[in-house]
């Protein structure tokens, strides 16, 4: 997940640098970005994400998981080179699109890779590391961008994925993929590596052989069913329910509002007219995000997916509702809110980001893999991720424009309503998947 950290670093950089590049005084480039251009830069990242979903969804089965995670770094490195060389806004358009390609690829490859090497009892925790490293990268991006000159940042942006590629040499291909290719001997060695197996007794060796045979049987059964995938497998009641759940989870993940605040944190604080410098607020919010996701990482396999999602939806709706009310009183009435402006926006955004990142942000991607029928899991998950990025493009393109046109109240209340509707849906339609094997629907003992 170092590459996920890299992607987060780019998101944190963009969130802080955008406000500076839109200011004739603060920009370090030879041009100033307009509001419309800034919205395109944010939106193109999501379009790149949809492209990454498709490309890496194909590469995962074509060249393997390990090779695919190597290739993840290439568009990202090119994106930072373009940031360094930027002579016009078009450089930044292409840069953010390529960064989005890597980001979209991570949502496909990393959960699959972790799912294929992890035991069910810790799979949720390990998959949640995806969001933890993403938010840690965002936090670092906030800090570095607020303190370091523009042209030094791409150097770090290139160095991180190079370190990632070097360290990935140590890890073998996943046992499931090797078994799918008929490479049983390499698959056994891979499983020994990921289970940290050391043959000390005859009994331990027998236990390992039983586990390997179970995995081999499951992969063989899945391979046989996958070879016969037809449109009927996508057009039945089970698939429709899974697609419906996947679509709602992606819609809720995007329109809960956390991503909008994440991408445009400094702009949100400018609108809130807080007394602290927007960069300071942004750094504090970044720390809270990391804490929220870390909480989800600890609790997701202990209490399950549904309880965390239900809590996160309810709490996020309250936070968004309060922020919308604050924005309405600030911009549409004569009520004096200056007594609150020094602390309320920061405290409220920190609350929103903590509760959203403790459930709404990381868990939908865990559930997306676990709720899909095994026969169509890879393709169906990729389709849902493409939908996620298309919805994300709409949000990232329109949010800064709506923020400038309507202020804080309208978008924040929209996010609050989305969270309330999501709460109702999750309560009645989303089942618990804690401890469930990816190869069968019954919970493991």
DSSP for 379-398, written as a single string = HHHHHHHHHHHHHHHHHHHH
With contact defined as beta carbons under 8 Å apart, do 393 and 401 qualify?
A: no
| pLDDT number for residue 78 | 96
Instruction: List the one residue out of 82, 3, 74 whose CA is nearest residue 41.
Output: 82
Rg (CA), the chain: 22
CA distance 42 to 207: 51
Burial 409-443 (b: 16+ CB within 10 A, else e): bebbbbbbebbbbbbebbeeebeebbebbbbeeee
Helix (H, G, I), strand (E, B) or coil at 369: helix
The owner of tokens 């169509």 is 376
Question: The pTM is what?
Answer: 0.75
Instruction: List the one residue out of 47, 156, 174, 163 whose CA is nearest residue 110.
Output: 174
Helix (H, G, I), strand (E, B) or coil at 173: coil
| pLDDT number for residue 441 | 41
pLDDT in 10s for each residue of the chain, 445 residues: 889 999 999 988 887 888 788 888 888 888 889 888 888 888 888 889 889 988 988 888 888 888 998 899 999 999 999 999 999 999 999 999 999 999 989 888 888 888 888 877 777 677 777 778 888 898 888 888 888 898 999 999 999 999 999 998 888 998 888 888 888 899 888 888 888 887 777 777 777 888 888 888 877 776 665 556 677 777 788 888 888 888 888 889 889 988 888 777 777 877 877 766 666 777 787 778 777 777 776 776 677 788 889 999 999 999 999 999 988 888 878 777 777 777 788 888 889 988 888 888 878 877 877 777 766 776 777 788 888 888 888 888 888 888 888 888 899 999 999 999 999 999 988 877 666 655 544 333 3
CA distance 381 to 54: 11
How many CB atoms neighbour CB 294 within 10 A? Answer: 18
> Which residues pair with residue 436 across a beta bridge?
443
Helix (H, G, I), strand (E, B) or coil at 436: strand
pLDDT per residue as tens digits for the range 346-370: 888 889 988 888 888 878 877 877 7
| pLDDT number for residue 445 | 34
| pLDDT number for residue 276 | 66
With contact defined as beta carbons under 8 Å apart, do 140 and 282 qualify?
A: no
On the CB side of 224, CA atoms within 13 Å amount to 5
The owner of tokens 């996701």 is 293
| pLDDT number for residue 388 | 83
**Residue 434 falls in which region: left (phi positive, over 0), alpha (psi -120 to 50) or beta:** beta
pLDDT per residue as tens digits for the range 80-136: 999 999 999 999 999 999 999 999 898 888 888 888 888 777 776 777 777 788 888
| pLDDT number for residue 110 | 86
In Å, how far are 7, 13, 46, 82, 114 from 86, measured between CA atoms? 19, 15, 20, 6, 36
| pLDDT number for residue 72 | 92
| pLDDT number for residue 442 | 39
């Amino acid at each position: 997940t170092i590459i996920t950290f890299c992607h987060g670093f780019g998101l944190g950089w963009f969130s802080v640098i955008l406000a500076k590049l839109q200011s004739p005084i603060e920009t370090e480039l030879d041009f100033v970005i307009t509001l419309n251009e800034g919205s395109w830069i944010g939106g193109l990242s999501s379009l790149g994400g949809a492209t990454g979903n498709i490309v890496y969804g194909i590469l995962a089965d074509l060249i393997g998981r390990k090779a695919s995670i190597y290739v993840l770094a290439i568009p990202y490195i090119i994106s930072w080179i373009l940031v360094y060389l930027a002579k016009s806004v078009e450089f930044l358009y292409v840069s953010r699109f390529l960064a989005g390609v890597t980001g979209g690829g991570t949502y496909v490859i990393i959960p699959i890779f972790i799912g294929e090497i992890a035991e069910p009892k810790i799979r949720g925790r390990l998959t949640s590391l995806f969001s933890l490293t993403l938010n840690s990268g965002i936090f670092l991006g906030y800090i570095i961008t607020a303190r370091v000159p523009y042209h030094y940042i791409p150097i770090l942006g290139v160095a991180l994925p190079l370190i990632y590629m070097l360290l990935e040499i140590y890890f073998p291909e996943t046992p499931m993929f090797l078994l799918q290719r008929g490479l049983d001997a390499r698959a056994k060695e891979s499983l020994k590596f990921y289970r940290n197996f050391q043959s000390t007794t005859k009994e331990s060796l027998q236990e390992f052989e039983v586990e390997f045979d179970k995995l081999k049987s499951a992969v063989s059964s899945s391979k046989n069913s996958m070879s016969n995938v037809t449109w009927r497998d996508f057009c039945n009641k089970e698939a429709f329910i899974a697609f419906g759940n996947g679509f709602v989870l992606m819609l809720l993940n995007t329109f809960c509002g956390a991503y909008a605040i994440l991408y445009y944190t400094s702009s949100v604080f400018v609108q809130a007219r807080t007394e602290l410098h927007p960069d300071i607020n942004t750094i504090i919010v970044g720390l809270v995000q990391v804490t929220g996701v870390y909480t989800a990482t600890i609790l997701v396999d202990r209490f399950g997916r549904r309880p965390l999602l239900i809590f996160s939806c309810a709490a996020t709706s309250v936070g968004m509702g309060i922020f919308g009310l604050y924005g309405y009183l600030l911009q549409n009435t004569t009520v004096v809110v200056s007594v609150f402006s020094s602390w309320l926006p920061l405290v409220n955004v920190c609350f929103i980001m903590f509760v959203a990142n403790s459930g709404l942000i990381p868990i939908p991607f865990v559930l997306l893999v676990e709720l899909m029928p095994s026969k169509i899991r890879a393709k169906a998950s990729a389709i849902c991720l493409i939908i996620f990025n298309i919805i994300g493009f709409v949000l990232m393109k329109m949010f800064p424009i709506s923020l400038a046109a309507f202020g804080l109240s309208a978008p924040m209340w929209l996010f609050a309503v989305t969270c309330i509707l999501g709460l109702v849906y999750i309560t009645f339609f989303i089942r618990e998947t804690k401890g469930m094997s990816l190869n069968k629907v019954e919970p493991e003992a």
